[in-house]
Structure formats: structure tokens, C-alpha cells
């Protein structure tokens, strides 16, 4: 793999990681660009060597934390759901299901703490082991395992609550139909 290809893979992976932290594409792009520039400026003699993924991820996370502290950002729900639906439009009739799934996923992920979301993303989406996640996030392996376990429990609880609400909704709809007959 050439240097350009490995840099592109690193930047794409960093972008996905930044998206998992920020939940906003524009802010994730800004974080990746800022982290890349910061690393490029700090080590000009090593610019042509292969990039260290761990260092890049730690820089991204630290920049995110700095921005969060500086701006005291709050995760906000977008007011314009149309933009999400336009991006996900696969075909007629499927749009509403996809929009509902994205909405559920965003709602479920918002109940997780940033640390839990970060650990789950790196472990499940990026495919890192707990030891590798620990190295990337500069935490102990046991802490990472605890974060993953707590996050999974929260997601399972959210899923079971939504499933129970859906089942209750179906029961009430079917009883309403029987009464109208």
C-alpha cells in the first residue's frame, strides 16, 4: 500500500471515529482536518513516514475534548429531519423505515456517555480488540471492557423498551380494529 493510500485510509478511519464522537459530519471533518494539520506541523521531518493511527486517534479525541470544554457543546437533535431522510433515500416506501431506524439509533446512542460510545464504536465498528482500544484511548483494558459492557447493557435496555412499546402499540391497534368491526 502506497503512502497516499495509507494516509487516505487513516483519514477515512479518523473521520468515522470523529463522527462517532461528534454526531455531526461537518464538525467531524473539521476535527480530522485540525488533527491532521496539528500532526503535520508538529513533525515536519517525519511527514513522509507512515502515520501512527494511535497518535492520530488520540489527537482527534483530545481536540474533541478541548472543543467540548471550550464551547460546552450539547448534543442537539437536528430540527430539519428532511436532510437526514434525503441522504438515506433508497427507494419508494423504504424511506420512512430507514428514517425511523436512524432516529432510533441516534436516540439510543445519545443515552450513552461519550466514553462508552467511543469504546463501543472502536470495538464493534472499527473491529479493535479491547487491548487495542485501551491503547488508542489511553485507558486500561479493564476500563475499556467495563465501558463496552455498560454501553451494551444500555443499548439492550433501550432496544427492549422500544420493542415493548412497539408490541403494546400493535396490540392497541389490533384491539381498535376489532372494536370497529
Which CATH number is 120's domain given? 1.10.10.10
Model pTM score:
0.53
62 and 1 in a common domain: yes
Residue range 160-164: mean pLDDT, rounded: 78
Placement of cell 436512524 in the chain: 102
Does 23 map to a domain?
Answer: yes
Does 163 map to a domain?
Answer: yes
What are residue 74's phi and psi, to 5 degrees?
A: -125, 135
Does 32 map to a domain?
Answer: yes
DSSP class of residue 121 equals: I
Domain count of the fold of the chain: 2
Does 24 map to a domain?
Answer: yes
Residue-wise pLDDT tens digits, 77-111? 555 554 444 444 444 555 555 555 667 777 777 88
Range of the domain at 158: 111-181
Does 84 map to a domain?
Answer: no
Tally of helices (H runs) and strands (E runs) in the chain: 8, 0
70 and 13 in a common domain: yes
Residue range 121-129: mean pLDDT, rounded: 86
Does 31 map to a domain?
Answer: yes
Closest CA to 21 of 52, 54, 62: 62
Does 106 map to a domain?
Answer: no
The domain boundary residue, chosen from 28, 60, 76: 76
3 state DSSP class of 125:
helix
The domain boundary residue, chosen from 76, 99, 123: 76
pLDDT at 144: 92
Q: Could you tell me how far CA 180 lies from the centroid of its own chain?
A: 45
Residue-wise pLDDT tens digits, 70-82? 766 444 455 555 4
Does 34 map to a domain?
Answer: yes
What are residue 107's phi and psi, to 5 degrees?
A: -65, -45
125 and 66 in a common domain: no
Q: Is 42 exposed, middle or buried (0-12, 13-18, 19+ CB in 10 A)?
A: exposed
The domain boundary residue, chosen from 26, 55, 76: 76
Residue pair 19/2 in contact by the 8 Å Cβ criterion:
no
Amino acid at each position: 500500500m502506497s503512502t497516499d493510500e495509507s494516509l487516505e485510509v487513516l483519514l477515512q478511519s479518523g473521520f468515522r471515529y470523529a463522527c462517532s464522537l461528534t454526531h455531526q459530519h461537518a464538525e467531524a471533518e473539521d476535527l480530522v482536518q485540525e488533527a491532521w494539520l496539528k500532526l503535520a506541523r508538529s513533525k515536519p521531518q517525519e511527514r513522509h513516514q507512515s502515520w501512527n493511527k494511535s497518535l492520530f486517534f488520540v489527537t482527534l479525541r483530545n481536540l474533541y475534548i478541548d472543543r467540548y470544554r471550550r464551547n460546552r457543546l450539547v448534543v442537539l437533535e437536528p430540527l430539519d429531519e428532511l436532510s437526514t431522510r434525503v441522504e438515506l433515500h433508497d427507494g419508494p416506501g423504504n424511506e420512512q423505515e430507514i428514517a425511523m431506524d436512524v432516529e432510533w439509533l441516534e436516540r439510543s446512542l445519545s443515552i450513552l456517555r461519550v466514553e462508552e460510545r467511543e469504546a463501543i464504536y472502536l470495538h464493534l465498528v472499527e473491529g479493535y480488540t479491547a487491548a487495542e482500544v485501551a491503547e488508542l484511548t489511553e485507558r486500561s483494558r479493564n476500563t475499556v471492557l467495563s465501558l463496552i459492557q455498560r454501553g451494551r447493557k444500555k443499548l439492550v435496555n433501550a432496544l427492549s423498551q422500544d420493542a415493548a412499546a412497539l408490541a403494546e402499540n400493535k396490540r392497541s391497534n389490533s384491539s381498535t380494529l376489532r372494536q370497529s368491526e
